Amino acid sequence: MLFDIRTLVAVMAITTFVSTVTLFLFWRLLPEERALRPAVFGAACQSLATILILLRGQIADVLSIFASNILLLLSYALLYQTMRIFCGKTTEWRLPAIIIIALAPVFLFFPGNEYLGMRVIASAIGIGSLCFLIALVLYRERQQQLPARRGVAIAFAGASVCSLIRIVVTLKYPPGDIHFLDKSDDSLIFIWGIILAFIYAFSIIMMTSERLRESLKQKLNDEQKAHQVAERALQEQRAFVTMLSHEFRTPLAIIRANTDAITLLSEQQNSDIDSSVERISRANLRLTTLVNGCLNNDRVQNLLTDSQETFCDVNLIGVLQEVADEYDVQLRADDGSPIIVPGDRDLLFILFSNLINNAIKHANERRNIEFSCCSDAHAVHIDVADDGPGIDAAYREKIFEKYFRINADKRTPGTGLGLYFVRVIAGQHHGQVRLIDGNPTRFRISLPLKENTQ
């Protein structure tokens, strides 16, 4: 061998100490993982056992041999408990205790070098049996989606088989006296101990990582289910609001028709009646606007949800001209030739109709509303401007917020959703909306052209 036995024991002591520190830090990082507690104590027993072996000759041989072997067996008994916890089982000490108690007399009453082969066999029986128990509990709880569990089970099954081979080899070739400065084949005992220390630490880290991955997957599944429940609740709420809004529209239309009839059919002027009818009309208009806002909000949200699936090539000039015809405003375009953009035609119609409707509300004269379109190599730019009072500088950053309305303009009916929809729909089409002038008001929408469009 290249190294004497004392060097190998020192390497084993360092390995087990590093393993203990690593698992302890892992435990401190994940204190909620109950399985790491016995694993850390087991690693500490391994480390203490190797230190006692290293002190051989400086402390009583009986103490060194007995304590180190019992601590080593105890470490694998604790690892067995760790694996049971990882598998969702309760701890079980009956079998490990029987193994340790049955083998303890060998280490206590036969400390001499002439009994080294007996102690090696006893140690191999103990470690092999405990490794077999570990492999068995992991094998019984194996799952297709947990490859680390199967891998660790195979590793400990292999360790159990190696222990059996070690027993056979020891019976056939009994070891002689071992001295710490020897370089003999008997040092394989300690090389095997180093390998087992690596397997011990690596198996805990692998099982903990898999446990965390399994826990994360479960949390993601729970979140997905919660999201589905919330989505269903939201859909039901939207359906309820839509139904309620539709139900409100009929009586509101009746109220408006009757207030108009009272105004037209009234033969005598009565200031009190006229004032009451006017208040009813204003309240009806305000409530009608709110109901229409709810319906439009529901419609836009549904369109936005499915918009990516409905995107196609849209002739923007056709949409703009349709909006201009509906609101009776003049559209000015470069030459009237088609301008193709990728998008949803219904959403684009809502975007520009909201802008034009907003301009009509605030314009002094409808004929002074400017509705123009021009394009460059990469984008198309649509301007909507009116000759109204403009927008105060203090409100220019807020006008695109949902439900925001300028305080001084409460007399104008609205819900504060129009410009919000404009911003959201423009963003959905990878475009942008800007207020490029607040006095008078001028909005500019920029949308990307279809690629390779000339």
Does residue 143 carry a pLDDT above 60?
no
- The yes-or-no verdict on residue 61 having pLDDT over 80 is no
Lowest mean pLDDT among 33-37, 143-147, 368-372: 143-147
SS3 call for 443: strand
Q: How much is the CA Rg of the chain, to the nearest whole Å?
A: 41
The alpha-helical segments, DSSP class H, found in 35-115 are 36-54, 61-86, 94-109
* CA count, 13 A, side-chain hemisphere, 443: 25
Number of C-beta neighbours around residue 81 at 10 A: 23
Of 52-56, 316-320, 326-330, 411-415, the one with minimum mean pLDDT is 411-415
For residues 396-417, give the mean pLDDT.
Answer: 68
Q: Is residue 182 very low, low, confident or very high in pLDDT (cuts 50, 70, 90)?
A: very low
71 — pLDDT class (breaks 50, 70, 90): very high
Rounded mean pLDDT of 168-196? 62
Q: Which residue has the higher pLDDT, 297 or 199?
A: 199
Q: Is pLDDT larger for residue 286 or for residue 227? A: 227
Average pLDDT, the chain: 79
For residue range 424-433, what is the model confidence (pLDDT) as tens digits? 888 888 899 9
- Helix, coil or strand: residue 43: helix
Neighbours of 417 (CB within 10 A): 20
Q: Is the pLDDT reported for residue 308 higher than 60?
A: no
Residue bearing the bigger pLDDT, 256 or 423? 423
* For residues 184-208, average pLDDT: 71
Residue 41 binned pLDDT confidence (cut-offs 50, 70, 90): very high
Task: Inform me whether the pLDDT recorded for 304 exceeds 70.
Answer: no
Paired tokens of 435: 């207020």
Is residue 454 scored above 80 in pLDDT? no
Check whether 52 has a pLDDT greater than 80: yes
pLDDT digits (tens, 9 = 90+) for 76-106: 999 899 888 888 888 999 999 999 999 999 9
41 contacts: CB under 8 Å, gap ≥ 6 = 78
Structural domains in the chain, CATH included, are 5-227 (1.20.1070.10), 293-448 (3.30.565.10)
Q: Which residue has the tokens 């401190």?
A: 28
**Per-residue pLDDT tens digits for 331-352:** 988 776 888 999 888 888 888 9
> Percentage of the chain surpassing pLDDT 70?
79
pLDDT digits (tens, 9 = 90+) for 241-298: 666 666 676 677 777 777 777 777 666 666 667 777 777 777 776 677 666 666 666 6
Q: How crowded is residue 325: how many other Cβ atoms within 10 Å of its Cβ?
A: 10
Which positions ≥6 away from 365 have C-beta within 8 Å? 387
Give SS3 for 111: coil
pTM, two decimal places:
0.50
Q: Which residues contact 367 (CB under 8 A, 6 or more apart)?
A: 330
Beta-bridged to residue 372, according to DSSP, are: 332, 383
**pLDDT score at 413:** 58
Please provide the DSSP assignment of 310-353 as one string: H-EEEEHHHHHHHHHHHHT--EEESS----EEEE-HHHHHHHHH
* pLDDT at site 181: 36
CA atoms within 13 A on the CB side of 379: 13
Higher per-residue confidence, 326 vs 306: 326
pLDDT for residue 381: 93
Question: Quick one: tokens of 205?
Answer: 């880290």
- pLDDT for 185 beyond 50: no
How many Å apart are CA 141 and CA 129, to the nearest integer?
A: 19
Strands of the sheet containing 379-385, edge to edge, are: 331-333, 370-375, 379-385, 441-448, 432-438
pLDDT at 179: 42
Q: Which pLDDT value is given to residue 246?
A: 62
Residue with more model confidence, 6 or 168: 168
Examine the pLDDT at 383 and tell me if it is beyond 50. yes
In whole angstroms, give the CA distance from residue 233 to residue 421. Answer: 23
User: What is the pLDDT averaged over residues 51-69?
Assistant: 81
Q: Name the residue among 453, 445, 425, 430 with its Cα closest to residue 320.
A: 445
Q: What are phi and psi of 392, to 5 degrees?
A: -60, 145
Q: Look up residue 107 and give its two tokens.
A: 């280490």
Angstrom CA distances, 316 to 30, 59, 320, 327, stand at 57, 92, 6, 17
DSSP 189-239: HHHHHHHHHHHHHHHHHHHHHHHHHHHHHHHHHHHHHHHHHHHHHHHHHHH
Compute CA 46 distance to the chain's CA centroid, rounded to the nearest angstrom: 39
Reduced to 3 states (helix: H, G, I; strand: E, B; else coil), residue 64 is: helix
